[in-house]
Amino acid sequence: MNAPVVFEGIGASPKRKEDLRFLSGRGNYTDDINRPDQTYAVMLRSPHAHAAIRGIDTAAAAAMPGVVAIYTGAEMVVGSLPCGWLIHNKDGSPMNEPGHPPLAQGKVRHVGDIVAVVIAETRPQARDAAEAIAVDYEVLGAATSMAAALAPGAPLLHEGAPGNVCYDWHIGDLAVNQAAFAQAKHVVHFELVNNRLIPNAMEPRAAIGDYDRTTDQHTLYTTSQNPHVIRLLMGAFVLQIPEHKLRVVAPDVGGGFGSKIFHYAEEAIVTWAAARINRPIKWTADRTESFMSDAHGRDHVTKAKLALAADGKFLGLHVSTTANMGAYLSTFATSVPTYLSATLLAGVYTTPTIYAEVKAVFTNTVPVDAYRGAGRPEATFLLERLVDIAAKQTGIDKLELRRRNFIPADAFPYQTPVALQYDSGDYQSTLAQALKTADWDGFEARRKAAAAQGKLRGIGISTYIEACGIAPSAVAGALGARAGLYEVGAIRVHPTGSVSVLTGTHSHGQGHETTLAQLVTDRFGIPLSQVDIVHGDTDRVPFGMGTYGSRSLAVGGSAMVKAMDKIVLKARRIAAHLMEASVDDVEFDRGTFRVAGTDKTKAWGEIALTAYVPHNYPIEEIEPGLDETAFYDPKNFTYPGGCHICEVEIDPDTGAIEVINFTAVDDVGRVINPMIVEGQVQGGIAQGIGQALLETCSYDADGQLLSGSFMDYTMPRADDVGTLSVATHETLCTHNPLGVKGCGEVGAIGSPPAVINAVVDALRDYGVTHVEMPATPAKLWHIINSGRQLAAE
Amino acid sequence: MPQVTLTVNGKSHTVEVEARTLLVELLREKLRLTGTHVGCDTSQCGACVVQMNGDSVKSCTTLALQAEGATVTTIEGLAKADGTLHPMQEAFREYHALQCGFCTPGMVMSAIDLVEKHPQGLSEHEIREGLEGNLCRCTGYHNIVKAIGAAQEVMHGRSATLAPAHAAE
Ligand code: FES
Ligand code: FES
């Protein structure tokens, strides 16, 4: 096999291997799959936020054409959908963990909670029958907002959670923290809301349950980011199906952004019901259902104060957050405001003491869980707004204030006061590069030019860090994770030298089929076309933990490196045998085995063939075959960081706002495929701009979802997001073999504060210190208009 | 049950449908052309866009019966028989204008119609406005806009080959 003519290894940007099928309509998404004799399920969902179920009459519905079965909570009595992360209260007691039945048991707790499943020959028949079910609800008072849920006498969601509190957690030494505030020259106070978001991957969730009575084999096809995790959670906790009888397939998945990590009720319902009716069952959400059943994101209310010395050095940070869990605990909900957020409150700064407390609250809303960035955008938004406010209050320039407090490039590894140890970074450099690219110095001229056109122009910056590459199992376990967080990579070298990689990570847009293949191309020296990545099927891939927390390359890629190490070692032994040399003398470099210092070589393909046709082979010493599996458990999180700069223009007459320039310089560690990294960052920034300017989930006081469709929930469209200038600045991760940090979430983490800082800067003459997200034209117009009235008075 | 006869990607089909059957259901479920996607139920996302009688339509908002006698092209019908991609497909690949691929069929079909209806050429701003009816949650649109800009040059014969993308752009 010849070495690739065009370099396709680490650092190259070959076009994606997956694109041809997606561009030809040949993708294989869950709803595209049809099983023989398949039926269709429709979920009957609660129209009430909080109600007792007095009775369900399914008789009329059951008699309708095509109906195969109807099940309610009375029939489906199974385990609870589990929560994967145990948090402890300040007093050391465990959090309140009420059950989450897939089908409601006597009570519904949010609009969209599932009351019954109707299974019919066709989808329209199932839909018609669902409408004929009569549910006798006794409507209870709803606690939709956290304030309402925490108020005395609030409606109680769960018997096991008094006061609607899930946990009251903290981190840091309060006494040390208070001492720092006592020393402070300046104390800056700040209160904010991190707006609730609805992830809205473009592919609605779907699930197909399939059952073979003759083998007792269950198969679930599902829109998941982590099929093994679903198999574990559903098999072990909900339905008690042992792993060898349960196959979970996550085929092509149309975007996830966190929302497809979690184990959802519908997955358990179709798997359970398929075995009851002994026929396949397909369920596909319509978008209205997605809005009221996909886990939402963010939704924190925070009070913070920052202590500064006279020279602007940060002395201490104190943060109190209430975090909305929604009606039930989704799979990783509890970890988001705690270990994925409060531990990031040092940011890129040397703040010596940090104290954070988080109260997690149940409300009559859809469960809230990880959404792109998960906790880290909340921490970053708080910090980067707070630093800007502190700059204004102390009169120190906002860039200078950041620079004075940066962790210096020579201080790594750097232990923060909130548990994490950063391994590498160079914040001054990413800042300098971003300032230059964004022409920060030329901004005042641009502001004047805009003003001459009657526009308010503002510039905003954020210098952020995040922790991803989730996660060292022992560390996560000590903090409450109920699962290991390693990853698996199995490399199969075929007899003719081509390679299949089985990875436990899952690609739902990230381009793993290309990026992960590049690792193999780079190491083995075979063309990209000779490498295929297999993922998303628990029957084909060894147990892996899936894709979230920007972990696929840092953890999954590292597992592949370990497996490739084993293969190279074995291949060298085979080559040594063939060339009658000692193993230590055989070198391997991209496809060629060479006896050091000689011209004796063997090609990759020859060694692969020898491994499977072991005629001339050291059979006494090594087994035939060239197929290795490795599990990799990371030693630490990875710490991407960077600088985002946003420039906006506001029309004071209408409040209309435009993102004029957006510059990002991100340190994501070593870049394997620059084209894909850029795409990931651009996509993340668009979601960040969405959070900052457009998106918000809103409920009314009765718990009705007001932003329940794309007509009411403002998704970023092409003309809302301008040109995005994206670049990288590499410092290598020091503890994984690839030096990679992760790029999937940085865009969504770094961008919202840059946008809002720009908005506040644009409104500098209107006396505002903060604008809550989303900064919509209506909100801006009101600010500007009331400012004008003030000026006129 | 009523019948509808239509031509899809050059092939004629006569299919029994309910009066309420949508064109997208006919394509996906009766003809098993699953490249056309459904991303919403309010005619907002554009994942379902196909060409019908030379215009782009949202197949989720078109009744199957409205397609009586129509000529429909879906994403599956774009490439030539020998596999040569349509310039728009080629441009999406070249410019990394797709990630999860779910919005892609509708995005490509809309983009083709947009370019065909503007032979004089579209500015970046016009492309962005022209994509109002298509949502993409993955890409941030940056590369989609670039891909369409490059494809229009080829589609209108102003350039023989697609301008290559530069990774560091
Ligand atoms: S599915 Fe047709 S517009 Fe969304
Ligand atoms: S590529 Fe995923 S929605 Fe557009």
Q: Which domains can be identified in chain B, with CATH numbers?
A: 3-77 (3.10.20.30), 87-161 (1.10.150.120)
Identity of the residue numbered A375: G
The span from the CA of A466 to the CA of A602, in Å, is 45
Q: What is the DSSP letter of A392?
A: H
The span from the CA of A790 to the CA of A61, in Å, is 62
**pLDDT tens-digit readout, A512-566:** 999 999 999 999 999 999 999 999 999 999 999 999 999 999 999 999 999 999 9
Pocket mutation for ligand 2, best pick of B95, B108, B109, B138 (most atoms within 8 Å of C-beta) = B138
Pairing of strands A414-415, A421-422: antiparallel
Chain B residues with CB under 8 Å of A203 CB are 37, 39, 100, 102
The span from the CA of A73 to the CA of A80, in Å, is 12
pLDDT band (50, 70, 90) for residue A723? confident
Residue closest via CA to ligand 2's atom 3 equals B136
Start-to-end CA distance of chain B, whole Å, equals 55
The alpha-carbon gap from A746 to the nearest alpha carbon of chain B, in Å, equals 14
pLDDT score for B168: 42
In the predicted model, what is the mean pLDDT of chain A? 96
DSSP per position, A667-708:
E-BS-S-HHHHHHHHHHHHHHHHIIIII----B-TT--BSS-
The alpha-carbon gap from A25 to the nearest alpha carbon of chain B, in Å, equals 4
Question: H or E segment at A576?
Answer: helix A558-579
**pLDDT tens-digit readout, A291-330:** 999 999 999 999 999 999 999 999 999 999 999 999 999 9
pLDDT band (50, 70, 90) for residue A345? very high
pLDDT value at A106 more than 60:
yes
Q: Is the CB of B102 under 6 A from ligand 2?
A: yes
The span from the CA of B23 to the CA of B73, in Å, is 12
Nearest to A261 by CA among A300, A210, A290, A295: A295
The span from the CA of B119 to the CA of A63, in Å, is 57
Looking at the CA of B100, name the nearest ligand. Answer: 2
Q: Confirm if A492 and A560 have CB atoms less than 8 A apart.
A: no
Inter-chain touch A678–B99, beta carbons under 8 Å: no
Nearest to A592 by CA among A617, A558, A568: A568
pLDDT score for A791: 55
Beta bridge partners of A667: A641
Best of B96, B98, B114, B143 to disrupt the A interface by mutation (most A CBs within 10 Å)? Answer: B96
Inter-chain touch A710–B135, beta carbons under 8 Å: yes
pLDDT score for A410: 95
Looking at the CA of B147, name the nearest ligand. Answer: 2
DSSP per position, A397-428:
-HHHHHHHHBPPGGG-SEE-TTS-EE----HH
* Dihedral-angle region of residue A514 (phi above 0 means left; psi in -120 to 50 means alpha; beta otherwise): alpha
* Angstrom distances, CA of residue B139 to CA of A615, A721, B44, B114: 52, 11, 18, 19
Chain A residues with CB under 8 Å of B51 CB are none
What six digits make up the tokens of A782? 């009101």
Question: H or E segment at A120?
Answer: strand A114-120
pLDDT value at A147 more than 90:
yes
pLDDT score for A5: 64
* Angstrom distances, CA of residue A375 to CA of A138, A338, A419, A502, B73: 36, 8, 15, 30, 44
Q: What is the DSSP letter of A331?
A: T
What six digits make up the tokens of A792? 């006129």
pLDDT score for B34: 98
The alpha-carbon gap from A487 to the nearest alpha carbon of chain B, in Å, equals 22
Strand, helix or coil at B102? coil
The span from the CA of A314 to the CA of A396, in Å, is 13
Annotate B25-59 with three-state secondary structure.
HHHHHHCCCCCCCCCCCCCCCCCCEEEECCEEEEC
Chain B residues with CB under 8 Å of A201 CB are 100, 102, 137
Looking at the CA of B45, name the nearest ligand. Answer: 1
* Angstrom distances, CA of residue A513 to CA of A397, A500, A536, A626, B99: 46, 11, 12, 21, 11
The alpha-carbon gap from B117 to the nearest alpha carbon of chain A, in Å, equals 19
Residue A389 burial (CB count, 10 A): 20
The span from the CA of A263 to the CA of A438, in Å, is 42
% chain A with pLDDT above 70: 98
Residue closest via CA to ligand 2's atom 4 equals B136
What six digits make up the tokens of B80? 């030539």
DSSP per position, A722-736:
--EEEEE-----SSS
**pLDDT tens-digit readout, A149-158:** 999 999 999 9
Half-sphere exposure of B136 (CA within 13 A, CB side): 33
Beta bridge partners of A629: A490
Q: Is the CB of B137 under 6 A from ligand 2?
A: yes
Inter-chain touch B140–A747, beta carbons under 8 Å: yes
pLDDT score for A793: 53
The span from the CA of A680 to the CA of A740, in Å, is 15
pLDDT value at A1 more than 50:
no
Q: Which residues of A501-516 are buried (b: 16+ CB within 10 A; e: fewer)?
A: bbbbbbbbbbbbbbbb
Cα angle at A462 between A755 and A341, to 5 degrees?
100
pLDDT band (50, 70, 90) for residue A337? very high
Q: Chain A to chain B, count of Cβ pairs less than 8 Å apart?
A: 184
The residues, ordered by sequence, that sit 6+ positions from A732 with a Cβ below 8 Å of its Cβ are A424, A669, A670, A739
pLDDT band (50, 70, 90) for residue A249? very high
Average pLDDT in the A336-359 region?
A: 97
pLDDT score for A471: 86
Phi and psi (nearest 5°) for A338?
-100, -85
Residue A91 burial (CB count, 10 A): 6
Question: H or E segment at B73?
Answer: strand B71-73
Please classify residue A711 by burial: count the beta carbons closer than 10 Å to its beta carbon, then call 0-12 exposed, 13-18 middle and 19+ buried.
Answer: exposed
The span from the CA of A471 to the CA of B80, in Å, is 47
The span from the CA of A279 to the CA of A225, in Å, is 26
* Angstrom distances, CA of residue A141 to CA of A39, A54, A108, A154, A364: 37, 16, 12, 8, 10
Q: Which of B102, B108, B165 sits opposite A203 (nearest CB)?
A: B102
Q: Which of A21, A24, A710 sits opposite B42 (nearest CB)?
A: A710
**pLDDT tens-digit readout, A26-64:** 999 999 999 999 999 999 999 999 999 999 999 999 999
DSSP per position, A512-567:
HHHHHHHHHHHHH---GGGEEEE-SBTTTS-S---S-TT-IIIIIIHHHHHHHHHH
Strand, helix or coil at B153? helix
What residues does ligand 1 touch, defined as CB less than 6 Å away? B 38-40, 43-48, 58, 60
Q: Looking at chain B, which residue has its C-alpha nearest residue A26?
A: B35
Place of tokens 């420039």: A647
Q: Confirm if B129 and A715 have CB atoms less than 8 A apart.
A: no
Half-sphere exposure of B59 (CA within 13 A, CB side): 34
Residue closest via CA to ligand 2's atom 2 equals B100
* Angstrom distances, CA of residue A388 to CA of A106, A398, A529, A666, B10: 50, 6, 50, 20, 61
CA A678, A32, A716, A336 dihedral sign is negative
Looking at the CA of B48, name the nearest ligand. Answer: 1
Residues of chain B whose pLDDT is less than 50?
167-169
Pocket mutation for ligand 2, best pick of B40, B95, B137 (most atoms within 8 Å of C-beta) = B137
Please classify residue A598 by burial: count the beta carbons closer than 10 Å to its beta carbon, then call 0-12 exposed, 13-18 middle and 19+ buried.
Answer: exposed
Pairing of strands A601-603, A592-595: antiparallel
Beta bridge partners of B73: B51
Annotate A627-657 with three-state secondary structure.
EEEEEECCCCCECCEEEEEEEEEECCCCCCE
pLDDT value at A495 more than 70:
yes
The residues, ordered by sequence, that sit 6+ positions from A136 with a Cβ below 8 Å of its Cβ are A53, A54, A55, A56, A57
Q: Which residues of A262-301 are buried (b: 16+ CB within 10 A; e: fewer)?
A: bbbbbbbbbbbbbbbeebbbbbbbbbbbbbbbbbbbbbbb
The span from the CA of A510 to the CA of A679, in Å, is 9
The residues, ordered by sequence, that sit 6+ positions from A485 with a Cβ below 8 Å of its Cβ are A470, A471, A472, A473, A476, A545, A551, A555, A633, A634
| ipTM exceeds 0.90 | yes
Q: Is the CB of B141 under 6 A from ligand 2?
A: no
The span from the CA of A308 to the CA of A302, in Å, is 19
Q: Which domains can be identified in chain A, with CATH numbers?
A: 33-140+205-284 (3.90.1170.50), 300-470+636-792 (3.30.365.10), 486-632 (3.30.365.10)
Inter-chain touch B104–A723, beta carbons under 8 Å: no
Nearest to A411 by CA among A475, A345, A349, A343: A349
The minimum-distance atom of ligand 1 relative to the CA of B43 is 3
**pLDDT tens-digit readout, A658-687:** 999 999 999 999 999 999 999 999 999 999
pLDDT score for A789: 62
Identity of the residue numbered A149: A
